[in-house]
Amino acid sequence: TFLKHSKGQTLMDMVCEHLNLLEKDYFGLTFADTDSQKVSELYSPWHFAFAVKFYPPDPSQLMEDITRYYLCLQLRDDMLSGRLPCSFVTHALLGSYTVQAELGDYDQDDHGSDYVSDFRFAPNQTRELEERVMELHRNYKGMTPAEAEMNFLENAKKLSMYGVDLHHAKVGYSRILFQASTMHSVLKYHFLLYFEESENLRLGGLHGIFSFLNKRWT
């Protein structure tokens, strides 16, 4: 039973116990609001989401398969939401490992010729992507679900935005600052917006040029 005045850690411990999760430090509970309200100011029921808090730089160092499984679920959600941008090739590769982990080896009698349409691999999923996923998946005969999830993580960790959680920190006249937290550092992404005159445009004679700067504090 979770009491009204219990601490958040108590709820987190209950969730981890329910999920049979021992490596708790990588995860947390999130709460999204729209009016900058505190949880105590809201009427119940309160809705929290279980999510990855710190993305391990080397997922192979995780001790348990269940931890890697929940990390895979988070990354799949990150890809679908656009928080983890991927190329077509990467979407196809990670999607094929997802199918192998969920369905196992390809079997013509069980799966037929169109068996991944119920999966979601990318924000704007196409038939071409699904066909490429199936083509790759058919080559994974004998790969266990745990091996498929490890291959998924080993490729996902190479993405430039892996483990980066952007937060809007400041808006200025010509500067937009986003702060991102990672396992070992804080990144600050500065988006500088300059305007210069351009005879080729008729939008007030302005041409926006974006430059991207990245500074790391460790």
Question: Do you find a cis peptide bond into 123, omega within 30 degrees of 0?
Answer: no
Q: For residue 125, how many C-alpha atoms fall within 13 Å in the half-sphere facing its CB? A: 17
Note whether 135 and 100 are within 8 A (CB): no
Look up residue 175 and give its amino acid. R
Q: What is the DSSP letter of 51?
A: E
Residue 83 pairs in a beta bridge with none
Q: Kindly report the pTM of this predicted structure.
A: 0.74
Whether 50 contacts 27, CB under 8 Å: yes
Closest CA to 29 of 10, 15, 14, 48: 48
pLDDT of residue 166: 65
Neighbours of 11 (CB within 10 A): 14
Structure-token pair, residue 19: 């999920």
Domains of the chain: 1-54 (3.10.20.90), 60-161 (1.20.80.10), 167-205 (no CATH)
Cβ(162)–Cβ(84) below 8 Å = yes
CA 117 – CA 115 distance, rounded (Å): 6
- Low-confidence residues of the chain: pLDDT under 70: 1-2, 32-45, 166-218
118 contact partners, CB below 8 Å, separation of at least 6: none
All residues at 6 or more sequence positions from 68 whose CB lies less than 8 Å from its CB, including other chains: 59, 62, 146, 149, 150, 153
Do residues 68 and 22 touch, judged by C-beta distance below 8 A? no
Give the 3-state secondary structure of residue 97. Answer: helix
Between CA 98 and CA 95 the distance in angstroms is 5
Q: Which of the 8 DSSP states describes residue 122?
A: S
Pick the closest to residue 50 from 99, 12, 21 (CA basis).
12
